[in-house]
Structure 1
Amino acid sequence: MLKYWPIIRSSTCFKLGVAAAVSYVLYLLAGFLLPLLLAIGLAFALYPLVNAIAKVRVAHGMIKLSRVVAIILALLAFCIFIVMIIGFILLPLFGQMNEFLQKLPLFISQSQGTDMHDIDAMLQDPTKIPLLPSDFNMLMTALVNWAMGFVSSVLRNLVQSSLSIVQSLIGLIIVPFLSFYFLKDWRELREMAVNLFNYDVQDRAAAVIDDIGRTLSAYVRGLAKLSLISGFVISVGTASLGIEFPLVLGFWAILAETVPVVGPLMGAVPAIFIAYGQSPEAAFHVALFYLVYYQLDANFIMPKIMGQKIDLHPVILIISLLIGAKLFGIVGMVFAVPVAAVYRVLYKELWHAGEGR
């Protein structure tokens, strides 16, 4: 059996089996790993700020702030930022959200199909039977109504699955504490992770860990900038167009920006849905605004900020998003891309390790 082990280890079936087993274990540990992933993301986001604060000198340049003090100040700045977000955005957002939820049944009723009571009424009065679209305007109206009903059901399922996960995450309170130690002792933690491997593969393990760290760090920082820009532009743009709930749409745009490829569609459809409840003309203006902005975002803003941080083919991105949405809802879609990026690094470094060409 031992003499066949090199052949077995290099076979594609064995590698796929190991990848599937690791993925299944990670799936079982998802509730435990999410606070850890959030802490790592927060540490990556605050790392440049910590470095900037650590370079500051006080007392006429005589005293240099220690890294621990820099980390504490960065976390305090993050807490102040969160308080400002809650006071100036989230609380007004909740007010608009309450108003939106009160009007949601009206929006949904405009896009839902008929039920059994409607069918009975149509059988008794044939004049109530809806006509098939006989011109372009009727066809477009029917397509919009169908699309809005479909999107509303998809969003409802995504939100419900995400809430069921978030409600079980009592451990979120430990995220800032984990981030503190990741920022403070990341070199020691990296050394501990490398020392878990045999001496002959420690160099490769260190290269893999560093590659993953560089990729995720650049991605998190770039994504934070893109999300804030998108939320600001969408809030101001929809408010200037006279669309209801601009803060809700801006907050949704921030979430949608974290999802590549399908993010623009996720961000635009609810806005068009709300605008269509006001008037078809408003829906057209909103659709045109989102089309122009996301074209600028895709061709100018994103390449300038992100560059080639995540070198993944669009097909891989879409498959990752579908799997994430199916397993964990919106939360899964947010984490699908960085997880896929980690898998890509592991594939590049390990899939053909030890093989000859």
Structure 2
Amino acid sequence: MPLFRDAPRPPAPTTPSKVQATWSDSMGRLAMRALQVIIVVVLLAGVVYAGGVLSVVTIPVLLALIIASAMHPVVSWLRRHRVPSVLATLAVLVGVLAVLGLVGWLIVVAVENQWSQLQDSAVDGFGKLQDFAKTLPISISESQIDDAVGGVTDFVTSAQFGSGAIAGASATANFLTGLVLMIVVLFFFLKDGPSIWEFLLRPFTGEQYARARRVGDRVVSTLGGYVRGTATVAAVDAIGIGVSIAIVGVPLALPLAVVVFITAFIPIVGATAAGILAALVALVALGPVQALIVVGIVILVNQLEGNFLQPVLMGRTLKLHGLVILIGLTAGTVLAGITGAIISVPLLAAAWGAILVWDGPDTPARPWRKKRDESITAHERPAD
């Protein structure tokens, strides 16, 4: 019997297989990362495509979510004062619909009352533009102007314009369907929003549940703050510009003020578009001097808004770079038209808010955390 038993031999080192070695080098890691990016892009493209196909459903739901986030404090305040939940929800819902209906009614009445005046002014203004075109250094003959007018007339009377009118009727039907759906979804979001979110969080536990709660609360607060702040700024812009152009004598001042209010929800380009429209109406109806006055009024109001109102009312709700906003506006406009342009920015702000609380109440997700200050000198670094 041997005095000493053989010590157990250490396991032989395993050499990585050829496949593992291929994926573990620098090119393999790069290929894996590229594959992950491709998968994420494909999934996002699928979601966007499905949302575009089902736009009659997705857009009303998103609009209802944004409006419900803005009106949630009002519903909560009514419930705290012992108003039954259903009555509080119905009161807020009726209030929202009343405001939207009043805005639409004011536009229709104002356009109907001033349409004949604007039509006569447009005819006179078009004649002035024709006379002005003849005095330009560029030679524009009378026949070229007649050809342009004839081309517009032929298009209006063509079958292509008729098919466009049929498409417009179909869009109207889709709009009414989406409006009814938005009202129904908005009612349930206002009434049972917290419980609906809690139901969706049932699969999560522990840290995942806490993260989902943080993200949900931040998204609702961001959307609500954005809508309330932007609506206040838009109301001030609409009142200031509307009263000013009414004093100047521009027709359709009330519809133009409503247009200013709506376009104020489109950052960067909305105010410019509203100013151009108001200036064109003033140019056609009154002349170039009044148009320049309108341009000056729009610039003044926009400067007051950008330098005083937005920093105070919006606060830290919308902290996005201008390039990100422009890209989001472009993508939203391409995907869903004017509605996409309006809802794209608050959705981007909500997504950024979710990133900022992803790993904690004040801890962003790891890729977006601020890096350590690289200006620390060597003697200031902690010893190893």
Please report the TM-score for the alignment, with normalisation by the length of structure 1.
Answer: 0.73
Residue 15 (structure 1) aligns with? 40
- How much has 1:285 moved relative to structure 2? 0.8
2:299 to 278, 285, 291: 291
Question: In the alignment, residue 277 of structure 2 is paired with which amino acid?
Answer: P
Change in 2 beyond 3 A, CA 1:73/1:309: same
Per-residue deviation, residues 10-43 of structure 1 (Å, max 9, x unmatched): 9444433333333333222222111112222232
Deviates more, 1:273-282 or 1:324-333: 324-333
Shift of 1:82: 4.2
Match of residue 65, structure 1, among 77, 83, 99: 83
The CA distance in 2 between the partners of 1:129 and 1:79, in whole Å, is 51
Structure 1 residue 173, shift from structure 2 partner: 1.4
Q: Does 1:184 align with 2:191?
A: yes
- Output the CA distance in 2 between the equivalents of 1:340 and 1:92: 35
CA distance in 2, matches of 1:102, 1:54: 54
- Shift of residue 334 of structure 1? 1.0
Partners of 1:232 and 1:250 within 8 A in 2: yes
Q: 1:168 aligns with which of 155, 158, 174?
A: 174
C-alpha distance in structure 1 between counterparts of 2:275 and 2:235, whole Å: 16
Question: What secondary structure sits across from 1:168 in the alignment?
Answer: helix
Cα distance between partner residues in 1 of 2:276 and 2:190: 39
How large is the Cα RMSD of the aligned pairs?
Answer: 3.9
Q: What amino acid is the match of 2:256?
A: L
Contact 1:71 1:184 in 2 (8 A): yes
Partners of 1:298 and 1:70 in 2: how far apart? 35
Q: Which amino acid aligns with 2:326?
A: I
2:77 partner letter? A
Percentage identity across paired residues of the two chains: 24
**In 1, distance between residues paired with 2:336 and 2:119?**
23
**What residue is the counterpart of 2:64 in the other structure?**
39
Query: Partner letter of residue 131 of structure 1?
Result: P
1:210 to 217, 225, 229: 217
> Could you tell me how far apart the structure 2 residues matched to 1:223 and 1:267 are?
16
The unaligned stretches of length 5 or more in structure 1 are 57-63, 113-117, 119-127, 134-159
Which of the residues 246, 249, 256 maps onto 1:249? Answer: 256
Among candidates 130, 134, 137, match of residue 131 of structure 1: 137
Would the aligned equivalents of 2:125 and 2:287 in 1 still touch at CA under 8 Å? no
Instruction: Give the CA deviation at 1:51.
Output: 2.7
Number of corresponding residues: 312
**CA distance in 2 between partners of 1:198 and 1:8 (Å):** 29
With 13-22 and 269-278 compared, the bigger mean Cα shift is at 13-22
TM-score, scaled to structure 2: 0.68
- Work out the CA distance in 2 between the residues paired with 1:107 and 1:339: 42
Question: Which sits farther off after the overlay, 185-194 or 319-328?
Answer: 319-328
> Which range moved further: 222-231 or 166-175?
166-175
| Residue 336 of structure 1 pairs with residue 344 of structure 2 | yes
CA distance in 1, matches of 2:116, 2:61: 32
**Which is greater in Rg?**
2
Q: Is the 8 A contact 1:97 1:248 kept in 2?
A: no
Please give the residue correspondences for 1:1-357 in structure 2 after superposition, counting only pairs within 5 Å: 11-56=36-81, 64-88=82-106, 90-96=108-114, 100=118, 131-132=137-138, 165=171, 167-169=173-175, 170-196=177-203, 201-277=208-284, 278-345=286-353, 349=358
Distance 1:199 1:111 in 2: 70
- Structure 1 residues 297-349: Cα deviation after superposition (integer angstroms, max 9, x where no partner): 11111222111212211001111112222333222211221232244346664
Alpha carbons 1:96, 1:247 under 8 Å: kept: no
| Contact residue 162 and residue 330 of structure 1 kept, 8 A | no
Deviation by residue 1:227-278 (Cα, 9 ceiling, x = unmatched): 2222222211110111121012101101110100112211100111122222
Asked whether the 8 Å contact 1:222–1:305 carries over to 2, the reply is yes
| Contact 2:233/2:310 (8 A) holds in 1 | yes
